[in-house]
Chains A and B, each alone.
Chain A
Amino acid sequence: MATAHYPETEVGDLHRRLVILRVGLLLVVALLGLRLWHLQIREGPYYRDLSENNRTRQVLLEPARGLIYDRHGVLLANNVPSFSLYVTLEDVKDRELLVKQLTDLLGLDAALVRKKLTAKGSKLLPRKIKDRMTLRDATLVESHRLDLPGVMIQVESQRNYPGGMTAAHILGYVGEISGEQLEKPEFLDLHQGSVVGQYGVEKSYDRHMRGVAGQKNVEVDALGHEKRATVVDRPQAGNDLYLTIDARLQKVAEDLLGEEHGAIVALDPTSGDILAMASRPGFDPNVLSRELTAKQWVEIVQDEGRPLNNRASQGQYPPGSTFKIPMAIAALETKTMSPSSTVFCNGGYQFGKRLYHDWKAGGHGYVDLHNALVHSCDVYFYTVGQRMGIDVMAEFGKDFGLGKATGVELPSERSGIMPSTAWKQKAKNEQWLPGETISAAIGQGYVTVTPLQMASLVGTVANNGVSYRPRLVQAVMDRTTGNLMEIPAVPRGKLSVKPETFRLIKDALADVVTKGTATRAKSSVVTIAGKTGTAQVAALRTGPEESIPKKFRDHAWFVAFAPVESPKIAVAVIGEHMGHGGAAAAPLAKEVIETYMKLAPQVPTVTSDRPTMEGPGRFSNDS
Chain B
Amino acid sequence: MINRLTEHRELDSFDIRYVALILAILGIGVLSIYSVTYGQRGVGTPYYLKQLIWIGVGSAAFLIMWASDYHHLARFAYPAYAVILVMLVVVLFEGRTSKGAQRWIALGPLSFQPSEFAKLILVLVLAHYYSKAPRVGWLQRVIVPGLLVLPGLLLILKQPDLGSGLSFVAVYAAMLLMVGVRSQALGVILLFSIMLFPFAWEGVWGSLHDYQRQRIMAFVDQDYDPGGKGYHALQSRIAIGSGELLGKGLYGGTQSQLKFLPEGHTDFVFAVFAEEWGFMGVLVLLALFVGLIWLSLEIASKAKDQLGALLAAGIVAMLCFCVVVNIGMTAGMFPIVGIPLPLVSYGGSATIMTMAALGLLLNVKRKRLSLFY
Contacts and interface: CB of A to CB of B under 8 A. Distances in A.
Question: Which 3 A-B residue pairings sit nearest by Cβ, starting from the closest?
Answer: A47-B241, A44-B244, A6-B134
Nearest to A15: B301
A227 B258 contact: yes
6 contacts: A6-B134, A11-B306, A14-B301, A29-B324, A32-B327, A35-B333
Given A17-B180, A18-B297, A50 B131 contact: no
Given A29-B290, A39-B331, A54-B254, A7 B240 contact: no
A223 B331 CA distance: 23
Given A29-B290, A54-B254, A222 B260 contact: yes
A47 B238 contact: yes
Interface in A26-65: 26, 28-29, 31-33, 35-37, 39-41, 43-48, 50-51, 54-55
B337 to A, nearest CB: 16
B293 interface: yes
Nearest to B177: A17
Nearest to A43: B241
Pick from B241, B297, B309 the residue with the most CB of A within 10 Å.
Answer: B241
Interface string B292-309: 011001001101011001
Contacts of A10: 134, 179-180, 306
B244 A50 contact: no
Interface size class of A (residues with CB under 8 A): 35 or more
Given A45-B244, A90-B227, 19 more contacts: A1-B182, A2-B180, A7-B306, A10-B134, A10-B179, A18-B178, A21-B317, A26-B290, A28-B324, A29-B324, A32-B324, A33-B282, A33-B286, A36-B240, A40-B243, A44-B243, A46-B241, A54-B235, A221-B260
Given A36-B331, A41-B244, A54-B254, A7 B177 contact: no
B244 A40 contact: yes
A21 B241 CA distance: 30
Given A3-B134, A51-B238, A222 B259 contact: yes
A6 B293 CA distance: 27
Interface in B208-249: 227, 235, 237-245
A22 interface: yes
Contacts of B333: 31-32, 35
B56 interface: no
B244 A48 contact: yes
A509 B237 CA distance: 89
Nearest to A22: B297
B339 interface: no
Interface of B: 131, 134, 136, 177-180, 182, 227, 235, 237-245, 254-255, 258-262, 274, 278-279, 282-283, 286, 289-290, 293-294, 297, 300-301, 303, 305-306, 309-310, 313, 316-317, 320, 324, 327-328, 331-333
Nearest to B281: A40
Contacts of B331: 32, 35-36, 39
Given A32-B331, A40-B245, A55 B240 contact: no
A18 B259 contact: no
Contacts of B289: 29
A43 B332 CA distance: 13
A28 to B, nearest CB: 5
Nearest to B234: A50
Contacts of B238: 47, 50-51, 54
A155 interface: no
A140 interface: no
Contact of B294 (A22, A28, A54, A90): A22
A40 B180 contact: no
Nearest to B130: A10
A13 interface: yes
A40 B301 CA distance: 36
Contacts of A223: 259
Contacts of A45: 244
B229 to A, nearest CB: 12
B328 A47 contact: no
A483 to B, nearest CB: 45
A221 B258 contact: yes
Contacts of A28: 320, 324
B345 to A, nearest CB: 17
Interface string A213-234: 0000001111100010000000
A47 B261 CA distance: 14
A388 B242 CA distance: 89
Given A11-B305, A39-B237, A47-B241, A29 B286 contact: yes
Contacts of A119: none
A40 B254 contact: no
B302 to A, nearest CB: 9
A21 B276 CA distance: 32
A77 B254 CA distance: 44
Nearest to B279: A40
B221 to A, nearest CB: 17
Contacts of A222: 258-262
Contacts of B274: 36, 40
A309 B274 CA distance: 67
Contacts of B136: 3
Contacts of A2: 180
B180 A21 contact: no
A13 B179 CA distance: 8
Contact of A25 (B177, B305, B310, B320): B320
A47 B333 CA distance: 16
Nearest to A51: B242
A494 interface: no
Contact of B293 (A25, A39, A54, A93): A25
Given A33-B286, A40-B274, A220 B258 contact: yes
A616 B254 CA distance: 55
Contacts of A1: 180, 182
Interface string A316-330: 000000000000000
Nearest to B304: A11
A22 B316 CA distance: 11
Contacts of B227: 90, 93
Contact of B131 (A7, A26, A37, A44): A7
A221 B283 CA distance: 29
Nearest to A46: B241
A362 to B, nearest CB: 88
Contacts of A7: 131, 134, 305-306
Contact of B278 (A3, A22, A31, A40): A40
Contacts of A25: 290, 293-294, 297, 320
Contacts of A44: 241-245, 279
A61 B328 CA distance: 44
A44 B248 CA distance: 12
Contacts of A39: 237, 240-241, 331-332
